[in-house]
Chain A
């Protein structure tokens, strides 16, 4: 639904609380990764929270969303249950995917979250198809496709841009430009004038904004989501940000200049949002209380995850397919 752009402190404070929840989730995820409780890969969204929250604030529950490997923030922002997500990271019963997907395949279809994705830019093609379904079914939903800056050099991204414009589909591409593709500075491997120029070359309206400015993301999304829902065709937002942690939890990010990180810390979205809230009269106590609550909540989820049962082995053989499904314990 379109938000009334009054930037009322209460609404922003709620969004800030969601950002806190994402940050607490990511910190708990990394902590438990290092403790050996969470296996595989954990790609933290720390430093980018304002984008997911600012965009999703302007979506309806039945709007759709696709994400990439750094998908925890998008899921929480879209309304997925962070407790179920934590259980999923622990590989337990009660996880969003029953422990079959883990961090990189977080999904919650009940809130339109069609999945994080382990393959860069594959969400782009899935999104344009979902948008085609929306059109065919004469629904008034839209789909948001989150992609990182590293993804813009894959063919499926460029194919999907062309496709979305050709059929004037209700897709909002949001490129979260954190400037580093895994460990490589994106600029050094990207020709041309970047993501915004690429989108515009297909005739897709595109805008670059400060993705660490929650109010700006919210305001921009409110306008663009309305336009897309009204039939504008696809649009793209490039949200500039900075990944405060490594590519994944076990990446110490030694490839970057410490001074770069230092200045990024001054620009990160949490204190900026806090400053705004304080200026609006929200007390330090209220803010500290919200921080504590997010941490406590997450501690509870982690303890729930520890206690949740492991999946039964028989679960390994379910939900493969209807026709020709595997018989448990056999190689067929």
Chain B
């Protein structure tokens, strides 16, 4: 086991996959000198050359569109959009082209590309650099949506995403770039897309979450255990496809479900999960399902205001307890 950061784990995955497959390449702004926003591309340009780690103009539509064209023409491009907020300049290309090419051309084409676009609050970057729009893309047939929570997952899931023949929206959390975790360097296998990870085993309440909230929910679960509430924590890892089987079997055991995500609660992916569970497991539920997501406000700048948007460990603990009061 080696300790490395979430961003370093991404870099390891990129490097390994680029070494393994000469058709894998990356394009985006500031990948060379800067090495990407979190250092995921650090020194890779020196190693793989300017044709495989391509510094591009600030042209999001073309970063995305070029990745699609390059995927259609036989390569496996990784489009780096820097922020999911900026990727919105290229939603047309992603939604109208990447997600549809295979289908509307009757299976003649595959679009094996990744659109990397980090989500989440990193602290003080406010309304246009902090959003978590992952639910948008789960709504689009053709796309896979990945939201890794740990360094090990960021390596394994990124490798799987690179090898996937579908267009993958790959959403790191900016706040996780510097967090450290154990990564088994010798095990270079991809982590299959669509399989959740059980973070904590418990019997009384299932909490489903992903991305940066996993760590906070895990801490809340440990505190709740001290108070005699046994929480099972599930990190979904991928939102589309989401691991319905794991969630359902956990809820069948605990009879209680809460979904926690940083994204705005209204229309968030928590709604999909809680609704599916309510629809199919209603008779097994001991209490109504609950959701926790961000307030429906733009992410504010000032420290106390930003904190007002975020979901805290304490809030999770309190809401969890409310199942039993």
Contacts and interface: CB of A to CB of B under 8 A. Distances in A.
A129 B61 contact: no
A134 to B, nearest CB: 6
Contact of A319 (B54, B59, B65, B106): B106
A234 interface: no
Interface in B47-88: 51-52, 54, 56-57, 59, 61-62, 64-75, 77
Contact of A127 (B25, B69, B240): B69
B108 interface: yes
Given A159-B57, A323-B144, A323-B241, A125 B70 contact: no
B97 interface: yes
Given A114-B69, A163-B57, A320 B62 contact: no
B258 interface: no
B194 interface: yes
B62 A125 contact: yes
Contact of A122 (B59, B97, B193): B97
Contacts of B194: 323-324
A189 interface: no
B195 to A, nearest CB: 11
Interface residues of B, number: 50
A312 interface: no
B246 to A, nearest CB: 15
A95 B105 CA distance: 10
Interface string A74-108: 00000000000000000000011111110001011
Interface residues of A, number: 52
Interface string B212-250: 000000000000000000000000001011001000000
A9 interface: no
A163 B59 contact: yes
Given A133-B70, A163-B56, A321 B102 contact: yes
A124 interface: yes
A137 B109 contact: no
Nearest to B27: A132
A97 B108 CA distance: 7
A126 B103 contact: no
12 contacts: A107-B108, A110-B108, A115-B101, A125-B69, A126-B68, A126-B97, A128-B66, A132-B54, A133-B71, A163-B66, A324-B166, A324-B238
Interface of A: 64, 66, 95-101, 105, 107-110, 114-115, 117-119, 122, 124-137, 143, 155-156, 159-160, 162-163, 166-167, 318-324, 326, 332
Enumerate the 10 nearest inter-chain pairs by beta-carbon distance, A residue then B residue, closest first: A125-B65, A129-B69, A129-B66, A324-B241, A97-B106, A133-B73, A126-B69, A130-B69, A98-B106, A130-B73
